[in-house]
Every structure is written in C-alpha cells, then in structure tokens.
Chains A and B, each alone.
Chain A
C-alpha cells in the first residue's frame, strides 16, 4: 500500500469508526468554538457591490468596443459570433461595420479574437444598466465609445490572500 510510485494511482481509504459519545461531545464543542471564533473574526468576503466594485483582472472579457478607424469591414466577427449578437450593416456605401446586441452577447470574445486587424477590444466593464431593451442594441456611435463607469463608485483591487482568501484593497481614485 505504501508505494510511492509517481504517477496517477488509486488509493483505498475508509471512514474511521463511528464516533462515541465523548467524541461527539468534543466535536460539538469544537464546532461551536470555531463558530464563535468566526463570529468574532469573520472570514467575510462580501463586497458592497453597486457602490464598491472590483478592478477586473487584466485581460478580462468585458464589453466590446469597436475601433472604427481600424475596421476593414471583413464581417468575420459577425460570422464567428456563436450567439448571433453581432450583425454587419452598411455604414456608408461599400463600408460594412459591425454592431452588437447586448441582449444576446455571451462575452465569449470570439469576435475580438478573430478580428484580423485588432479593431475590436474588451473593456473592463460588464455591468451597464439599460432602461429598455432597445438600448441594448448598440448603433455604431455607442459601439465605438468606451462605456463609462458610473460616478461615486469605490474601486477595490481583489487580492488573493493566504489568511482571508480574498482581500479587497481600495484603489484611490485620482
């Protein structure tokens, strides 16, 4: 059983015997004391979300913005979209441009990845609010503008921590 051969292998294990009365009492006490400890020193990772927002990681696949000057109108993005969220239209004669419908977009980033000229890019925003469904269908003007972060939002940086799991460090807005 005590082989130390490297590589994946099975290992048979078994549950220890049923707990006696004394063990049970001990484990009850332990669980309660751990509960009390966590009451005093909570392991809280709650974020007061709409007011506090995490800085999204580098390379986060957020909302998509079009750089109209770079776009060559090849319509690969519209063809690759798995949710049919992106459509091409004639911005001017012989000038195709994509527009996006955020009702359908699944943020897979295929369009950004297939663009041969890097005209599409992600911005670290994923939670815009729309007042009605028509607003979710972007036209060329809104699609080429980077969405703005609402005001009065405290930005926090998410840090992975050995003690607390996740820690939020406020980022001071300049």
Chain B
C-alpha cells in the first residue's frame, strides 16, 4: 500500500474492510476500484486500471501511417471520429498541409455526431447504474438515430475510419441535410422529455445533488479534462483554445457550470448535446462547395480514381497516401472529444511508419478522480460518481 494520503478520513485499522469493485464490466469496459470501507463509508479508493491495455502506441510503430487509423479508433469505439481526428491532424502538421474547407466541415459534422452519440452512450450507462432502466433504453434508442446518420455519411456504424491525411473519405450523401434536420428536430423534442424523466426527476436529483463534488482547485490540480472540468467551473475546451476543423467559423457556446457535483456534470453533458445540435445545423447549412481532399493528392489520381470520386463521391486511397513519408520532425495535435481532450504527439524519422506516437486520452486523465472524490461517500454513491465521470476504460488503457 502506498503512503497514506491526506484525503483519508480515518487511519486504516482493523475495522476497515477492503472491497474490490470489478474488474467486471460496469457497462463501459473492464476496470477495478479497490475500496477500503468503514461500515458503509469509503475511506480510501484506488482506481486500478490497465485491464484492457492493448499496447497501442507500440503497435502504431509497426504500421504505415494511415493504417493506424483503424487501430486508434479502437480506443473509444463510440467516439471513433474524435479520437482519430487528432492523429490525422498531427500527420497533416508534419506534411504541412491543410484540408480544404469542405473537408473541414464534413469532419466537424462527423465529430459532432460522434460527440452526441458518445454523450448519449455515457448517460445511458449512467442511468442504468442509477437503476433508471427507462432512461437507459431511451438514451440508447436515441443514440441509434445519430449512429444511423453517421452510417449514411461514412458507411459504417461505429468504426468509421473516415479521414485521410488532407481530407475525408466520402462526400456528404445526397439528402443528408434533410435527414440530419429531421434527426435534430426529433432529438430536440426528446431533450424536453429527458428533462421530465431524468434531469428534474426528484429521485435522480436526490441521488446526484452534492454527490462527487470536485472543487475548481482540485479539478485544476488533478488535471482532469472535458465536461468534468467544465462542470467544475474551469474554462477549458480545445475547440476554443486551439480551434481546429470548422469550429472557429461556427457560432456556439461551451457551457460552464460552477457546482462541480454529479448533477452539474450531467447537466453539462445535456447542455453540450444542445450545443452540438446547434453546431450540426450550422455546419450542414454553411458547408462550402469544393474538393474534399488536398490538391497535392488529387493531382496524383489516376483516371479510375477520378471517375469514382466523381460518380460515387468516394475518395479512393491514392498509393501516395498509403506510402506516406512525412519529413523528419515532430508534431502534436489536440482535439476535444466527447470525454475531453485527446493529445497526440507524433515523431517521424522520414520512414513510411511513425517513429513514435504518443496518445494521452481523456479517460486516463479523468481516472485519477476516483481516488480523490470517492472517500467520504457511501458505497451506494459509487455508481452515481462513476457514471457522472463518464469514464471509459478502453480509452484510458489504450
């Protein structure tokens, strides 16, 4: 056991029981929390992560640049576009290219579809952990609308693998705008029902109010990211701090809550859903015409590749993109994913495979929260806290 930390509410002695929560699958992947409890009160908690570690950073060194996209996607399969976008952006920085505007807008649309789907997934798990199985079904059912939309855009429900360095793989399908508008209208109606059934439900309120409080200072100290830190009153969103894709051209708000408890984190996510709808609506209306791949690679297209692009609006993989040899150097990219900030640091030694890819995923940064927030709460509050953090083990373990 490590040295006693200050958050102990009591010295460990023989009355303290050790309880292992996990490593079963609490709904989002395998992880274990080792609790030391005094009666019903948690006195110490240790998040024990690493059960779904897949050595992704090492694996990435043995594959060609574009081949790593389907690999990194598997960190957070429900947020696939956001977690691979950072990697692709880092490659683009190495190559010194910018995707054309239309590609940027399509990236934004897919990223926001993924953010909605990811938040709904997280809240669905949250609801079932709280024992609210109706909301679980509703969140997961409504997620299906956005998964369906993503499927129409990319051709795959979850593992989109949608980006090429310098562009995207497909153009918007015909009629996508109307379908998206229908989906948004439907979801806006549903958000009102969520309010009645979940957010303002007195049972849910009493389980969330004041539970799992993270102060502004503690949040900054622990370095947590994403909706969790914004619910503690810290202004941090990569979409604003270091704008990418089409975000700087769109008009939206990033909600900030000061309360820092589980309820604030829940409301934070629901407010972000609303903003995502706003972004989607603007992006799909303002999307400019033009190419969807950087001209450097479009020039290398053979006749067959050009024909496919024109008739099927599908960007084929030019061999030049597959045999990519970015110049020697290093680059980083940051992306705001559903759970927070993804950070990619990429080193190239001029070969067709990356020399090093470092990934810092948001769930990894958030996992430390359990150690500092759980002590002092009852064991029955654990599901509420776990769910409200929206922790996703495969993303943390990589």
Q: Do A and B actually bind?
A: yes
A40 within 8 A of B: no
Which of A10-18, A93-101, A132-140 faces chain B? A10-18
User: A113 and B317: CB pair below 8 A?
Assistant: yes
Which A residue's beta carbon lies closest to that of B308? A118
A82 CA / B65 CA spacing, docked (Å): 10
Given A10-B254, A15-B263, A59-B170, A161–B202 Cβ distance below 8 Å? no
A30 within 8 A of B: yes
Task: Identify which of residues 268-290 in chain B touch chain A, using a CB-to-CB cut-off of 8 Å.
Answer: 271
Tally of A-B Cβ pairs under 8 angstroms: 165
- Among A13, A24, A57, A82, point to the contact of B155 (Cβ < 8 A): A57
Instruction: Please give the distance in Å from B373's CB to the nearest CB on chain A.
Output: 18
Q: Which residues of A contact B67 (CB under 8 A)?
A: 80, 82, 110
A11 CA / B249 CA spacing, docked (Å): 18
Q: Which residues of A contact B308 (CB under 8 A)?
A: 118
SS class, residues of chain B in contact with chain A: helix
User: B186 and A165: CB pair below 8 A?
Assistant: yes
- In this complex, which of B66, B202, B251, B314 has the most chain A Cβ atoms within 10 angstroms of its Cβ? B202
A116 CA / B302 CA spacing, docked (Å): 8
Q: Which residues of A contact B183 (CB under 8 A)?
A: 160, 165
Q: Which residues of A contact B248 (CB under 8 A)?
A: 7-8
A170 within 8 A of B: no
Q: Which residues of A contact B193 (CB under 8 A)?
A: 34
Given A61-B155, A113-B317, A165–B237 Cβ distance below 8 Å? no
Q: Which residues of A contact B304 (CB under 8 A)?
A: 116-118
A109 CA / B250 CA spacing, docked (Å): 32
Given A8-B243, A8-B248, A113-B317, A34–B196 Cβ distance below 8 Å? yes
User: B156 and A61: CB pair below 8 A?
Assistant: yes
- Among B161, B185, B196, B312, point to the contact of A31 (Cβ < 8 A): B196
User: B205 and A19: CB pair below 8 A?
Assistant: yes
Given A76-B319, A109-B161, A166–B145 Cβ distance below 8 Å? yes
- Among B155, B156, B243, B317, point to the contact of A110 (Cβ < 8 A): B317
Given A14-B257, A15-B257, A19-B202, A6–B148 Cβ distance below 8 Å? no
Please classify how large the interface on chain A is, using the bins under 10, 10 to 19, 20 to 34, 35 or more: 35 or more
B142 within 8 A of A: yes
Task: Identify which of residues 118-174 in chain A touch chain B, using a CB-to-CB cut-off of 8 Å.
Answer: 118, 122, 158, 160-166
Q: Which residues of A contact B144 (CB under 8 A)?
A: 45, 165-166
Task: Identify which of residues 134-170 in chain B touch chain A, using a CB-to-CB cut-off of 8 Å.
Answer: 134, 138, 141-142, 144-145, 148-149, 151-152, 155-156, 159, 161, 169-170
Which A residue's beta carbon lies closest to that of B156? A61
Q: Mark B300-320, 1 if CB is under 8 A from A, else 0.
A: 001011001000101111010
A13 CA / B315 CA spacing, docked (Å): 43
B247 within 8 A of A: yes
A91 within 8 A of B: no
B235 within 8 A of A: yes
- Among B179, B237, B240, B251, point to the contact of A160 (Cβ < 8 A): B179
Q: Which residues of B contact A58 (CB under 8 A)?
A: 152, 173
Q: Which residues of A contact B64 (CB under 8 A)?
A: 80
B239 within 8 A of A: yes
User: A158 and B148: CB pair below 8 A?
Assistant: yes
User: B196 and A27: CB pair below 8 A?
Assistant: yes
User: B197 and A31: CB pair below 8 A?
Assistant: yes
B256 within 8 A of A: yes
A163 CA / B209 CA spacing, docked (Å): 33
Q: Which residues of B contact A43 (CB under 8 A)?
A: 138, 141
Given A7-B248, A10-B253, A166-B148, A80–B314 Cβ distance below 8 Å? no
Residues of B within 8 A of A (CB): 63-64, 66-71, 134, 138, 141-142, 144-145, 148-149, 151-152, 155-156, 159, 161, 169-170, 173, 179, 182-183, 185-186, 189-190, 193, 196-197, 200-202, 205, 209, 235, 237, 239-240, 243, 247-259, 263-264, 267, 271, 302, 304-305, 308, 312, 314-317, 319, 322
- Some 13 contacts from A to B, beta carbons below 8 A apart, are A14-B258, A15-B259, A18-B205, A45-B141, A58-B152, A60-B151, A60-B155, A79-B322, A80-B322, A109-B155, A113-B316, A160-B182, A162-B182
- Other A-B pairs, 8, CB within 8 Å; known A24-B202, A109-B155: A8-B247, A11-B254, A27-B200, A82-B68, A82-B71, A110-B67, A114-B316, A122-B155
Residues of A within 8 A of B (CB): 6-15, 18-19, 24, 27-28, 30-31, 34-35, 43, 45, 56-61, 76, 79-80, 82-83, 106-110, 113-118, 122, 158, 160-166
User: What 8 A-B pairs come out closest when comparing CB atoms?
Assistant: A11-B253, A61-B155, A24-B202, A113-B317, A82-B67, A114-B317, A6-B251, A57-B152
